[in-house]
Structure 1
Amino acid sequence: MLQGLRDNLKGTVVASVVVLFFVLPMVITGVGSSWLGSVAGTDAASVEGRTITRQELEREVYLQRQRLLGQQGVDPSADYLKEENLRQPVLDRLTKKEAMLSSNEKGGMAISESTVNALIVAQQDFHTDGKFDAQLYRSLLARIGSSPAMYKQEMAENMVLSQLNAGIESSSFITEMEKSSLVAIINEQRSFFTVDVPADGIADAVSVSDEDVQGYYQDNQSEFLEPEKLSVNYIELSVSKLSQGIKVSAEEVEVQYQLELAAFDATPEFDIAHILINEGDDSASRITEVQEKLNAGEDFAELAKSYSDDAGSKSNGGALGVMLDGVFPEEFQNTVLALETGGISSPVKSDSGVHFIKVLDKRVRAAPSLEDRKSAIEISLKRGKAEEIFTANLELLEELTYDSDNLDSAAAELGLTVQASPLFERVRGTEIATNVQIRNAAFDPEVLVDGHNSRVIELAANRAIVLRVKEHQPERFKALAEVREQINGTLTEKAVEQVLKSKADGFIAAVEGGATAETLAGEFGYTYTFHENASRSAPVSDPQTRQKVFATALADSAVTFETNKNSDGSYRLIGITSSKPGEVSEMESQQLVGLSTQLGRENSRFEGSAYQENVIGSSSIKVH
């Protein structure tokens, strides 16, 4: 087949069609039975006659666990990552999916095989040098326990479900009343004032007694619970540190450099273009005409657009890209190898027709010098030797630390240093204890309770660590003496806040009794600010205050009050005096369109959820 494609060089477009519609469907479809084949007694559930096999369930559980582990800061030993805890949620998801697929199938929804093929071929994950790579495709699927047939089925199912979602979204609509109600809320304007009651000097007048401190300490013990902590001594074996102590000779570098030179590929790379003349009654005259125009110095690309019979390349001036070995006819390839950049060949005959060939660019890679490669070779050689030592010492590290009551002898034997960590908790730590494997090993009963060295903990980047507990601090309640100052500050703050609240309550009562807020604030020396017809996004006051203003339900009274504590300790009174709903007529048309689109999406999301619940609720689902 490859020979045929090569021989039919003139049919670039035809060749592409053959590859797309003949070769790739065979690759994508796969051969043989599905990995998920169901046999008697192997079904995990059935939905409307569609089965979910135990193999499929286990595979999805595995994939879900890998997805969760890929998230940052995940503890691999966490209970929610255990297979028995993942299995039920995954099975629920699979049964719901099967119910939706069954409903879609009954409704006549489907995706054509050619559409699925085209989508898979277009996925960049399966591309090498910009083209679909069948070997890479199969390899990546195999890594997750899948196959081309399985992946194709999954793609088709997901596309059908996406098609359903798109249908619900496109059919969703909003009424004018819904739009008006949303605009009324979003573009609402409120007028409000703020009065800041200062806290200056109040704390100086507050007295906190020993009895108050003692009482708070007794009543709030949970605030003073110090979690269990420990620190560890540890020794670390790593390729990185081993390589720092290794030296390589100039002779070793030279030998490696010569090996690289021997393996260096200096084959030139050619960017080429051609003009193809098919055989026919007028081919001889056309060949002569093209040759004469080339001899006269006319532009090769323009001539290709006018004369070439290769429909796939003529519009690009005959450009064929980089010449790949074995793809072009032998006589064509030999001609290219004899040309330099800018060179144009005489007519070259092949089974495809007659070609005029131009080398657009010839690139010959020069071998790097020893000086250019010296540093990288030294690093590579050092790391190679370090990896050998690491592998040998890893087993020795386990032997030396197993059943030993210290780390010193192993450290001396391996030339390592015993290091110490700061105190850390079960769920968090610094330095080496940021690693969850380290924390888990340190708090393991064999290490923490029995006093043994840990097992060898292999970390990323070729690192291995053995640790033992240095200091252990059990969970405890802090003594009153340790937290007295903290409690005193808390009680003082509460007392100040109570005084401020009392002042604020008095102010509110006076305003509700008929006093003018601005006048009253002036009499008390409070800061008063008024904001008229402010919107939610208006740059007035501060975001926290605006949030309070628009989150408050308005009372029937003339002023609706809210309170807030400022960052400087002062107390803020917020008085909302009026509200004006937003009007559709006041919005720009572009904003209104965007708002309608957003509301439509939200409606379709709720409608889609309701439809899904209805389908699942009416489906026959049996879990075995």
Structure 2
Amino acid sequence: MLQSMRDNLKGIGAIIVAAFFGFIMVVGGIDFFRGASGGSADAVAEVNGKKITDMDLQRAIQSRQNMIRSQFGDQVPADLISEEKLRAPVLKQLVTSSVMRQAARDSGMVMSSAIVNREITQIPAFQVDGKFNLQRYRDGLRRLGYNTASFPKTMERDLILQQFADSVSDSAFTTRADANQIVALSMEERDFDYAVLPVKGLLGDMKVSDSEIEDYYKSHQAEFKRPEQVAIEYIELKPSLFAANVDVSEADVRAQYEQEAANFQAKPRRHAAHILIENSDAKKIAEVQSKLDAGEDFAKLAKTYSDDLGSSEAGGDLGFTTGDVFPEDFEKALASLKVGQVSAPVKTDAGTHFIKLLGVEGTKVPTYAERKAAISERLRNAQAEQQFVDALSRVADLTYNADTLKGPAEELGVPLETTAPFSRDGGTGIASNSKVIGAAFSPEVMLDGNTSEVLNLGNDDAVVLRVTEHKEAGTYPLEEVRDKIVDRLKRDKASQQLAASAKALGKQLEDGGDFAKLAKAQNLTMETADNTRRGGFGQRGEIITHAFTMKAPGSRGSLVSTFATGDGDQVVLRLRAVRPGNLGQQSSEQRAALLQQLSSASGRAELAAVQSYLSGKADIEMTEKGKQ
């Protein structure tokens, strides 16, 4: 099957497919490899009888929204993260994930619990100061709707699915002919000279009449379309707004510390490393035991012998555990060790372990100086949280039927914020949030003038809003775009005036004139661009793009072209040489890196083909809820 798909996915077409598929993977993240994980009984789809629930879909949509926000920040287009926009593609990915997971299961792939646990402990969201934190882990799972029993199972399924995907994509390769063809195009170089005839110096002399402005406005109405817009005022409630005004006394901090010290119970965090021997290979176990008995370095032995690929390169380092991260027998053996001591062989479902205790933390009562900052922050946050809860319980009543949110904001002790007008595509800041946009454009808020319901934006962030301005969709009035039209018309006139000079200069070049001297005579600067490749920004990007649209000069020596840039400047360009990219001219390191990149792209293309093939064979049924 793979070979037949390889035959149909070679060449530049494969790279284009791979590039697109790679983008989907990047945007999808781990949710691409996530499928039914239990939860709500409402199925949105069934894949070979396996349900994908509405909870699975909501989790995946939220994860995708968070990933997009991390890429775009506050400037994320609201339409890009709306549930309506994401629902269909995310559900499609969940279906594909389910198909792939079933294929992985049918192929007999498994994942050791040691690797699963290690991956969990290395997730940054579950760490504090770079170390695994059990409370952070539990809090994170609770927010995601998981528990400590279900999450490792979901993680295991994802890792197995990733293993299956890697087994497909890692089998791909790129031929030298493919590489040569791609390099010839992507690394093509061109030599050219150019001079820019700017319109700036002429703009002051250009005259534009009122009739010209009106005629341009009437004939370019599409340029001046204005979407329906609203501006809002809003109250945002979050604990951080109240924390800044909370004063925590030294006495309160000291009292809290004394209580902590009196109730302190040592909760040691043990730093573990291991050497894993899968399948309990007796010969290999004996060999490792012999070398440990001889005093050989544990970390070096882990790199050589451990079957845990995830930790072996780190000397077997698994990070910290408070006693419930690793299998029970593993934790018991670890707890019985002294720092620096190595256990006898310990068997778990993953195989046989040699366990080393690297260190222990959390066995002594911390000093007041060590705890002061953390206690102060906790007390401040606790008071701020209470004030937030109080404000949240009052805001709906205070804002109900309010003509303005100024009074409620003062009553709650928070600022009243406003936005500039924005469309249904969203604006900046809070106006990019899909819930805010939806509420602002709802008929009861936008048309009836009501205050919105309290919107839960997540992570203890709530908003209530009113529309302060509503602009119907239409065309910007001439007065608002007049300056823009005048500038455009002046640039067009100046550009047309310069076009004759540009063509005259181009003709002189075609007749063999010296470009540098001719340019200097007209107070222009000739720029030389040798060994230039595709790309670039602004006006230079436009010039490079035009240079690469020209035919190669061949035996004629050079070709001359004149054209206008987007801002009206005229350009005279002389193309002197075109050289296709040559793989052979790259260094051995560059060739190896390029072939690796192309193989990776080909691997992604093959993975896409496998997914398409498996999905075509699968029995996939969308429920009525999934079709919504």
Shorter-chain TM-score above 0.5: yes
Q: CA deviation at 1:208?
A: 1.8
Distance, in Å, in 1 between the alignment partners of 2:189 and 2:244 is: 68
Matches within 5 A, 1:71-470: 71-72=68-69, 81-82=83-84, 86-87=87-88, 90-91=91-92, 94=95, 98=99, 110-113=107-110, 116-117=112-113, 119-125=115-121, 140=141, 143-144=145-146, 146=150, 152-169=156-173, 172-175=174-177, 178-182=178-182, 184-185=184-185, 188=188, 190-199=190-199, 201-235=201-235, 239-242=239-242, 252-265=252-265, 311=292, 314-315=295-296, 365=364, 367-369=366-368, 377=375, 380-405=378-403, 407=405, 410=408, 414=411, 416=413, 419=416, 421-426=418-423, 427-429=425-427, 433=431, 436-459=434-457, 462=460, 464-470=462-468
Q: CA deviation at 1:193?
A: 3.1
Question: Residues 508, 257 of structure 1: CA spacing in aligned structure 2 closer, same or farther, 3 A cutoff?
Answer: closer
- Equivalent AA in structure 2 for residue 518 of structure 1: F
Q: Is the 1:508–1:561 contact (alpha carbons within 8 Å) kept by the matching residues of 2?
A: yes
- Equivalent AA in structure 1 for residue 216 of structure 2: Y
Q: Is the 2:191–2:530 contact (alpha carbons within 8 Å) kept by the matching residues of 1?
A: yes
The aligned counterpart of 1:534 is 531
The aligned counterpart of 1:26 is none
The one of 62, 65, 76 equivalent to 1:66 is 62
- Equivalent AA in structure 2 for residue 549 of structure 1: A
What per-residue deviation string (whole Å, max 9, x for no partner) do you get for residues 187-226 of structure 1?
6554433244354754344332221111011112343345
The aligned counterpart of 1:281 is none
- Equivalent AA in structure 1 for residue 498 of structure 2: L
Distance, in Å, in 1 between the alignment partners of 2:427 and 2:467 is: 15
Question: Residues 544, 214 of structure 1: CA spacing in aligned structure 2 closer, same or farther, 3 A cutoff?
Answer: closer
Question: Residues 494, 312 of structure 1: CA spacing in aligned structure 2 closer, same or farther, 3 A cutoff?
Answer: farther
Q: CA deviation at 1:481?
A: 3.4
Distance, in Å, in 1 between the alignment partners of 2:440 and 2:455 is: 11
Distance, in Å, in 2 between the alignment partners of 1:596 and 1:388 is: 59
SS class of match (1:450): coil
What per-residue deviation string (whole Å, max 9, x for no partner) do you get for residues 71-121 of structure 1?
2156788796239x735763476358738965x89xxx83454x5555424
The aligned counterpart of 1:554 is 552
SS class of match (1:516): coil
Q: CA deviation at 1:155?
A: 3.8
- Equivalent AA in structure 2 for residue 219 of structure 1: S
Q: What's the TM-score once normalised by structure 2's chain length?
A: 0.62
Structure 2 runs not aligned, ≥5 long: 1-35, 273-288, 300-316, 324-330, 341-357, 623-628
* Higher Rg: 1
Q: Is the 1:247–1:382 contact (alpha carbons within 8 Å) kept by the matching residues of 2?
A: yes
SS class of match (1:423): coil
Q: CA deviation at 1:450?
A: 1.7
- Equivalent AA in structure 1 for residue 203 of structure 2: A
- Equivalent AA in structure 1 for residue 219 of structure 2: D
Identity within the alignment, %: 21
What per-residue deviation string (whole Å, max 9, x for no partner) do you get for residues 302-326 of structure 1?
xxxxxx99947944599x9999999
Question: Residues 201, 593 of structure 1: CA spacing in aligned structure 2 closer, same or farther, 3 A cutoff?
Answer: closer
Matches within 5 A, 1:37-48: 44=45
The aligned counterpart of 1:575 is 574
Q: Is the 2:172–2:602 contact (alpha carbons within 8 Å) kept by the matching residues of 1?
A: no
SS class of match (2:466): strand
SS class of match (2:448): coil
Q: CA deviation at 1:393?
A: 4.2
- RMSD of aligned C-alpha atoms? 5.6
The aligned counterpart of 1:518 is 515
Q: What's the TM-score once normalised by structure 1's chain length?
A: 0.62
Distance, in Å, in 1 between the alignment partners of 2:403 and 2:252 is: 42
Q: Is the 2:45–2:95 contact (alpha carbons within 8 Å) kept by the matching residues of 1?
A: no
What per-residue deviation string (whole Å, max 9, x for no partner) do you get for residues 336-369 of structure 1?
9xxxx99xxxxxxxxxxxxxxxx99999745423
Distance, in Å, in 1 between the alignment partners of 2:199 and 2:320 is: 77
Q: CA deviation at 1:396?
A: 3.1
Question: Residues 375, 111 of structure 1: CA spacing in aligned structure 2 closer, same or farther, 3 A cutoff?
Answer: closer
- Tell me the matched-pair count: 509
Q: CA deviation at 1:499?
A: 2.0
Q: CA deviation at 1:526?
A: 6.0
Matches within 5 A, 1:23-34: none
Distance, in Å, in 1 between the alignment partners of 2:270 and 2:472 is: 72
What per-residue deviation string (whole Å, max 9, x for no partner) do you get for residues 237-287 of structure 1?
554455566666666455433312212347999999xxxxxxxxxxxxxxx
Distance, in Å, in 1 between the alignment partners of 2:414 and 2:133 is: 51
- Equivalent AA in structure 2 for residue 192 of structure 1: F
Distance, in Å, in 2 between the alignment partners of 1:360 and 1:393 is: 46
Distance, in Å, in 2 between the alignment partners of 1:606 and 1:557 is: 40
Structure 1 runs not aligned, ≥5 long: 1-33, 273-307, 343-358
What per-residue deviation string (whole Å, max 9, x for no partner) do you get for residues 467-506 of structure 1?
3344444445443334333222110101111222233234
Q: Is the 1:229–1:423 contact (alpha carbons within 8 Å) kept by the matching residues of 2?
A: no
Question: Residues 410, 187 of structure 1: CA spacing in aligned structure 2 closer, same or farther, 3 A cutoff?
Answer: closer
SS class of match (2:176): coil
Q: Is the 1:180–1:584 contact (alpha carbons within 8 Å) kept by the matching residues of 2?
A: yes
Aligned: 1:490 with 2:488: yes
SS class of match (2:52): helix
Aligned: 1:480 with 2:460: no
Question: Residues 591, 99 of structure 1: CA spacing in aligned structure 2 closer, same or farther, 3 A cutoff?
Answer: closer
Question: Residues 391, 561 of structure 1: CA spacing in aligned structure 2 closer, same or farther, 3 A cutoff?
Answer: same
Q: Is the 1:231–1:421 contact (alpha carbons within 8 Å) kept by the matching residues of 2?
A: yes
- Equivalent AA in structure 2 for residue 457 of structure 1: L
Q: Is the 1:193–1:531 contact (alpha carbons within 8 Å) kept by the matching residues of 2?
A: yes
Distance, in Å, in 2 between the alignment partners of 1:593 and 1:433 is: 47
The aligned counterpart of 1:302 is none
Q: CA deviation at 1:451?
A: 2.1
Distance, in Å, in 1 between the alignment partners of 2:580 and 2:247 is: 78
Runs of 4+ that moved beyond 6 A: 34-37, 75-79, 126-133, 135-139, 266-272, 320-326, 359-364, 566-569
Q: Is the 2:170–2:600 contact (alpha carbons within 8 Å) kept by the matching residues of 1?
A: no
Q: Is the 2:264–2:365 contact (alpha carbons within 8 Å) kept by the matching residues of 1?
A: no
